[in-house]
């Protein structure tokens, strides 16, 4: 086989590997899904340039190489190598790499789970306006992991992230307003944030809207609407939505 044909076939095979669907990601990879989604169009040439730049200690290339190893885009998925490159970039103040380390430490992927270290890196990234890291701090404060539980601070960080369109943070605010956690209970605001998140396909928010509709909590719609959102969430494997969908059928 001629060299040019070998190159073309290799490129095609690599392109297929690079365009792996986000739906095929493992549970460990899911917290990085927004980053992996950005990499689906990476080519073999892009990765070669990235590796070359990373060797010169260029932070943006190190960060992207870290995510390549997280997502298994053009390289074998490897948590140790991902965190190695994240650390290299984070030490130069790269916000996306700092967030990558925050996720690694909060979920214990490639490192021992350590919420103290997770929140350190989330804070570094959040101070630079990284929405995913802001959401990470919102989760930390709402659950009291690595920090004293504080819904006021949780909602502060959720709001910062939600204003940038982070679906997880939008859902977090929906939960806060629906339950009156750190804020006055307000179903109108809860449904506003649930809707914002649900429109991005957030299963928890879809379930939240289903609950709101099924109980007629300031939404003023019928059970059909509740079941629509329960079904949307259940189709993504949300067990709570599957249960709530069954309950809603009694109305």
CB-based contact 103:122 (threshold 8 Å): no
Distance of CA 12 to the CA centre of its chain: 29
For residue 66, tell me if it sits in a domain.
yes
**pLDDT higher than threshold 80 for residue 92:** yes
For residue 70, tell me if it sits in a domain.
yes
Find the angle CA(168)-CA(171)-CA(172) to the nearest 5 degrees. Answer: 85
Q: How many domains does the chain have?
A: 1
For residue 38, tell me if it sits in a domain.
yes
**For residues 93-114, average pLDDT:** 97
Q: Which two tokens stand for residue 192?
A: 């506003």
What is the structure's pLDDT at 247? Answer: 42
15-40 in b/e form (b: 16+ CB < 10 A) is: eeebeeeeeebeebbebbeebbeebe
Q: How does pLDDT run across 165-176, given as a tens digit for each residue?
A: 999 999 999 999
**For residues 26-52, average pLDDT:** 85
Q: At what angle do helices 44-54 and 3-18 cross, to 10 degrees?
A: 80
| Higher-pLDDT residue of 50, 133 | 133
Q: Rounded distance, CA 172 to CA 139, Å?
A: 8
Q: Rounded distance, CA 78 to CA 105, Å?
A: 15
CB-based contact 237:204 (threshold 8 Å): no
Phi, psi angles (nearest 5°) of residue 201? 85, 15
Q: Rounded distance, CA 207 to CA 232, Å?
A: 8
Helix (H, G, I), strand (E, B) or coil at 77: coil
For residue 57, tell me if it sits in a domain.
yes
Q: Rounded distance, CA 198 to CA 232, Å?
A: 9
**pLDDT higher than threshold 60 for residue 223:** no
Helix (H, G, I), strand (E, B) or coil at 130: coil
Q: Rounded distance, CA 251 to CA 249, Å?
A: 5
Q: What is the pTM of this model?
A: 0.77
**pLDDT higher than threshold 90 for residue 244:** no
Q: How does pLDDT run across 118-131, given as a tens digit for each residue?
A: 999 999 999 999 99
CA-closest candidate to residue 231, choices 218, 250, 212, 246: 246
For residue 209, tell me if it sits in a domain.
no
| Higher-pLDDT residue of 238, 100 | 100
**For residues 28-57, average pLDDT:** 86
For residue 47, tell me if it sits in a domain.
yes
For residue 232, tell me if it sits in a domain.
no
Full residue range of the structural domain in which residue 103 is found: 1-126
DSSP state of 202: -
For residue 185, tell me if it sits in a domain.
no
CB-based contact 210:227 (threshold 8 Å): yes
Q: What is the CATH number of the domain that holds 1?
A: 1.25.40.10
What is the structure's pLDDT at 3? Answer: 42
CB-based contact 68:47 (threshold 8 Å): yes
200 half-sphere exposure, CB direction, 13 A CA radius? 17
If you count them, how many residues does the chain have?
251
What is the structure's pLDDT at 232? Answer: 57
């Amino acid at each position: 086989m001629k060299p040019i044909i070998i190159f073309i076939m290799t490129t095609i095979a690599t392109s297929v590997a690079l365009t792996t669907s986000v739906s095929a990601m493992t549970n460990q990879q899911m917290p990085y899904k927004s980053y992996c989604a950005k990499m689906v169009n990476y080519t073999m040439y892009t990765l070669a340039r990235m590796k070359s730049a990373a060797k010169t200690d260029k932070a943006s290339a190190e960060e992207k190489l870290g995510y390549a190893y997280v997502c298994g885009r053009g390289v074998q998925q490897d948590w140790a190598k991902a965190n190695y490159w994240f650390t290299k970039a984070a030490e130069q103040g790269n916000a996306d790499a700092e967030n990558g380390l925050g996720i690694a430490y909060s979920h214990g992927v490639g490192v021992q789970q350590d919420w103290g270290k997770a929140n350190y890196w989330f804070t570094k990234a959040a101070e630079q306006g990284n929405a995913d890291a802001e959401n990470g701090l919102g989760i930390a404060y709402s659950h009291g992991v690595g920090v004293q539980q504080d819904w006021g601070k949780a909602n502060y960080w959720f709001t910062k992230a939600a204003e940038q369109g982070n679906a997880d943070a939008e859902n977090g605010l929906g939960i806060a307003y629906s339950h009156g956690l750190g804020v006055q209970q307000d179903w109108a605001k809860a449904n506003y944030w649930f809707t914002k998140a649900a429109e991005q396909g957030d299963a928890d928010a879809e379930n939240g809207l289903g609950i709101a509709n099924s109980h007629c909590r300031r939404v003023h719609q019928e059970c059909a609407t509740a079941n629509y959102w329960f079904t949307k969430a259940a189709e993504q494997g949300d067990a709570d939505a599957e249960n709530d969908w069954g309950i809603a059928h009694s109305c």
